[in-house]
Structure 1
Amino acid sequence: MASAFKLLFAVSLFTLLLRFCRGSIVGVCYGRNADDLPTPDKVVELIKLHNIKYVRIYDSNIQVLKAFANTGVELMVAVPNSDLLAFSQFQSNADSWLKNSILPYYPATKITYITVGLEVTESPNNASALVVPAMHNVLTALKKAGLHKRIKVSSTHSLGVLSRSFPPSAGAFNSSHASFLKPMLEFLAENQSPFMIDLYPYYAYRDSPQKVSLDYAMFESSSEVIDPNTGLLYTNMFDAQIDALYFALMALNFKTIKVMVTETGWPSKGSPKEKGATPDNAQTYNTNLIRHVLNDTGTPAKPGEELDVYIFSLFNENRKPGLESERNWGLFYPDKTSIYNLDFTGKGVLDMTNSTDGSKNGTTWCIASSKASEADLQNAIDWACGPGNVDCSAIQPSQPCFEPDNLASHASFAFNSYYQQNGPSDVACSFGGKGVKVDKDPSYDNCIYLTAGGINKTASSNMTATANTSSSAHTDVCSWICVFLLTTLIAVILNTGNVFHVSF
């Protein structure tokens, strides 16, 4: 009996540490405000087909929970705004909901988060005063079931919860929400739950195209926005908005709360005045977002910080009111066909079987455009060799690709390295219009350009580069360390008979 307990303890600790080692994740929001959607079991088949491991739903629908049983997909479920009054008034309501709507399906259905309320400060009937009491009652119900360490409780918010988001270092919460925010932040800090935010750079671009460039909104900018207070450099709006939240949290002395993005994305269709809502732009934004998140680069204020992000949304939802874009955020049509291609591994969109560029065996390279200015090329090189995580050692002095010593040559090598490492696609060769795809190998002398799969044969490096290098390296090393430490710990526990008391 003692040995069985020790083994169970070791396995539990192993699982916990591996969770800490998982790195950033990308999930999808599964909204159902639409006609003719597939049945939940068909949706689960679609999700598994596309290797989606994390899903957010907006209620606790029984059929959906049943469909996700034994899939391994981590599910975020919700207490909708309409239930906040009942949940905040009586503990018994939260207890009954957990007993009837969650426990019958757990743990076969892997529920990891419960969101209490949806953007309450934006709702017509401001129910913010009900959120924290409801959160406490849900947490108490989880404690009674012994699940409060396995299922985290939080609430989702819009960026409107901030009164200021630029520059990021001046990020501040709206004082009109102070009576609601302070106890909620105390709850999150005490229970190690994340601050959940719904971020949409698309709206910033749509509403202020003169101030926010399309490239900056879509992770495509080769120039930088400088925070005058910190000197931090921002190449995309997403990072700036995340850091504004972190600075707002730090201003209130909540330095341990992590940020989780529970919604972000880009619409594929809009009304006439929404010219940025196109399938190409949606694909570009989400592809760059996935790559950015899974690289674990963090943000300028939080370099290397893990960030969990959920893309909105799985399907177009035709019942939604408002402008045309509101009904066109989906990755799929109701018949499960893709609106545009998206790869959730972070390697980019790659379809070598249907090459239309006329290249031999579909092989292409990415080089600098002859029309690009030297200033633009220098900015692009700085980005590729910095945040882009390209190994640019080959274009340093005395290395195989340094000569000819000019920006066009150096940029071509950097562009191609990024292009191949991130899955050859139009998006990965964009560089704000400074990159062009070619079907002729630009390699020369001992300077060998990367090809698909990331193989570089330059004399300066005998290492094989792979797509999503930073992310995979982080995950592999961290997982290896976890495995080593836990294997050692299990051996110590089982062989010596010592049992450590650890509170989870």
Structure 2
Amino acid sequence: MAIQKMRISQIFLLNLASVFTILSLLSLSSSTEAAPVGVCYGREASNLPPTSAVVHLLQSNGISWIRIFNPDPEALASFSGTGIQLMIGVPNEILPTLANGTVSASLIWLESNIFSLIPPSQVRYLAVGNEVLVNNPSYTQFLEPAILNLYRALHELGLADAIKLSSPHAAAVLSESYPPSAGAFDLSLTPVMVPLLKFLSETESPLMVNVYPFFSYVNNHQYVTLDYALFRSSAVEIDRDLEYRNMFDATIDAFVYAMEREGYPRIPVVVTETGWPTDGGDGAGAGNALDYNRNVVMRTKGNIGTPKRPGVGVEVFLFDLFDENGKTTGVEFEKHFGIFGVNGIKAYDISFI
């Protein structure tokens, strides 16, 4: 009888744990509406159309979410009053000033550079820095204090709940990403990552990640097939009884497992950049770009989620609105992520509606 009671209690506890897991997943998605699909509006180019024409292009294609990488006055003024929701970047080079200044100084910066040009109701996110920890490590020490000063300034303005603060990270912040359940942050970065995760958890803000299966394919041909990167693989990879059919899901879930490993299992993920180039390297091409981005849009709008978080829509910003001929990385494909030509014609027939 004692054994039977123990088994019954164990079953009860297992069922209760399952209920809590389900509730935790459901709480990550605040509504049944589709997760939004946005587009990155990079401006490192000499031939871009006027911002007024860009606004018309966005509206005519049903694009109502945009990421801009810095608070460009011309762009912000053009978006004002359009209803388009923005993720606005706080450039890496501004971080020391914000970190070393006062909350009042951050408040003045926000009002002068953003809110004097566009209503706060159109600002959904502030992306503080971009890929700082890996690609711009000299700014690492300034990231958390800059975020905290900006948060306190938003709080003084009564905007801390409406405008979420985070910082986009490259996948390289993970020391382990395969299989996804092995996902772990680089130990050298945890002194920064863990306090940041604590902030994101306490403020109900997302972890921002830049996800590029194209890079995984180009750099790891022997491990990542083109079909797996493009959502076209018929093969299934099993990890802890979860089925993975594409690199996009696997990368996001590696971040989820990494956060879980640090004690933060419920922070949502926003993909701040993802895309596929139409030219400039192995695997590049309009057909592949269409396959990749169309699948991302369909999965996002369908709230498909990932194997680790099924049914929880992942908000995504596709890179890039236009080709950027001013890119100086020395890598040719960096210039060819544009979904539209500068004449407004689509590079391939993708729909956002």
Fold conserved between structures, TM > 0.5 = yes
| 1:309 and 2:309 are equivalent in the alignment | no
| 1:24 and 2:32 are equivalent in the alignment | no
| 1:253 and 2:260 are equivalent in the alignment | no
Q: Distance in 2 between matches of 1:231 and 1:108?
A: 44
Which residue matches 1:343?
351
Larger Rg: 1
Which residue matches 1:181?
193
| 1:294 and 2:301 are equivalent in the alignment | yes
| 1:284 and 2:295 are equivalent in the alignment | no
8 Å Cα contact 1:263/1:312 also seen in 2:
yes
Q: Distance in 1 between matches of 2:137 and 2:262?
A: 27
- Return the letter of the residue paired with 1:71: T
Q: Distance in 2 between matches of 1:308 and 1:281?
A: 22
Alpha-carbon deviation of 1:106? 4.2
Alpha-carbon deviation of 1:25? 1.4
Partner SS for 2:149: helix
8 Å Cα contact 2:302/2:313 also seen in 1:
no
Which residue matches 2:129?
117
What does the per-residue CA deviation read over 1:447-468, in whole Å, with 9 as the maximum and x for residues that have no partner? xxxxxxxxxxxxxxxxxxxxxx
Q: Distance in 1 between matches of 2:129 and 2:40?
A: 15
| 1:90 and 2:95 are equivalent in the alignment | no
| 1:100-179 → structure 2 map (5 Å cutoff) | 100-107=112-119, 110-179=122-191
- Return the letter of the residue paired with 1:207: N
| 1:222 and 2:230 are equivalent in the alignment | no
Q: Point out which structure has higher relative CO (alpha carbons under 8 A, 6+ apart).
A: 2
| 1:264 and 2:271 are equivalent in the alignment | no
What does the per-residue CA deviation read over 1:275-332, in whole Å, with 9 as the maximum and x for residues that have no partner? 2011111111001111122111111111111210000000100111222101001112
| 1:242 and 2:249 are equivalent in the alignment | no
8 Å Cα contact 2:320/2:337 also seen in 1:
yes
How many residue pairs match? The answer is 323
- Return the letter of the residue paired with 2:241: G
Alpha-carbon deviation of 1:109? 6.2
Alpha-carbon deviation of 1:21? 4.0
8 Å Cα contact 1:66/1:109 also seen in 2:
no
8 Å Cα contact 1:202/1:217 also seen in 2:
yes
Alpha-carbon deviation of 1:58? 0.5
| RMSD over equivalenced CA pairs, Å | 1.5
Q: Distance in 1 between matches of 2:114 and 2:31?
A: 25
What does the per-residue CA deviation read over 1:384-427, in whole Å, with 9 as the maximum and x for residues that have no partner? xxxxxxxxxxxxxxxxxxxxxxxxxxxxxxxxxxxxxxxxxxxx
8 Å Cα contact 1:26/1:310 also seen in 2:
yes
Partner SS for 1:126: helix
Q: Distance in 1 between matches of 2:95 and 2:81?
A: 30
Q: Distance in 2 between matches of 1:161 and 1:280?
A: 30
Which sections of structure 2, spanning at least 5 residues, go unmatched? 1-28
| 1:99 and 2:111 are equivalent in the alignment | yes
Q: With structure 1 as the length reference, what TM-score do the two structures score? A: 0.62
Aligned with residue 325 of structure 1, among 325, 333, 343: 333
Alpha-carbon deviation of 1:108? 7.1
8 Å Cα contact 1:56/1:310 also seen in 2:
yes
8 Å Cα contact 1:70/1:109 also seen in 2:
no
Alpha-carbon deviation of 1:182? 1.2
Partner SS for 1:288: helix
Alpha-carbon deviation of 1:124? 4.3
Q: With structure 2 as the length reference, what TM-score do the two structures score? A: 0.89
124-133 vs 30-39, greater mean Cα deviation: 124-133
| 1:334 and 2:345 are equivalent in the alignment | no
- Return the letter of the residue paired with 1:57: I
Q: Percent identity?
A: 40
8 Å Cα contact 1:159/1:197 also seen in 2:
yes
Alpha-carbon deviation of 1:339? 1.4
Partner SS for 1:32: coil
Which residue matches 1:202?
214
Q: Distance in 2 between matches of 1:170 and 1:104?
A: 45
Which residue matches 1:435?
none
8 Å Cα contact 1:163/1:172 also seen in 2:
yes
Alpha-carbon deviation of 1:203? 0.7
Alpha-carbon deviation of 1:191? 0.4
Partner SS for 1:127: helix
Alpha-carbon deviation of 1:76? 0.6
Q: Distance in 1 between matches of 2:31 and 2:300?
A: 16
8 Å Cα contact 1:69/1:108 also seen in 2:
no
Which residue matches 2:13?
none
Alpha-carbon deviation of 1:26? 0.8
What does the per-residue CA deviation read over 1:131-154, in whole Å, with 9 as the maximum and x for residues that have no partner? 110000001111111111111111
- Return the letter of the residue paired with 2:245: T
8 Å Cα contact 1:75/1:109 also seen in 2:
no
Q: Distance in 1 between matches of 2:322 and 2:90?
A: 21
93-102 vs 80-89, greater mean Cα deviation: 93-102
8 Å Cα contact 2:68/2:87 also seen in 1:
yes
CA shift in 2, pair 1:125/1:161, >3 Å: closer
- Return the letter of the residue paired with 1:137: N
Partner SS for 1:149: coil
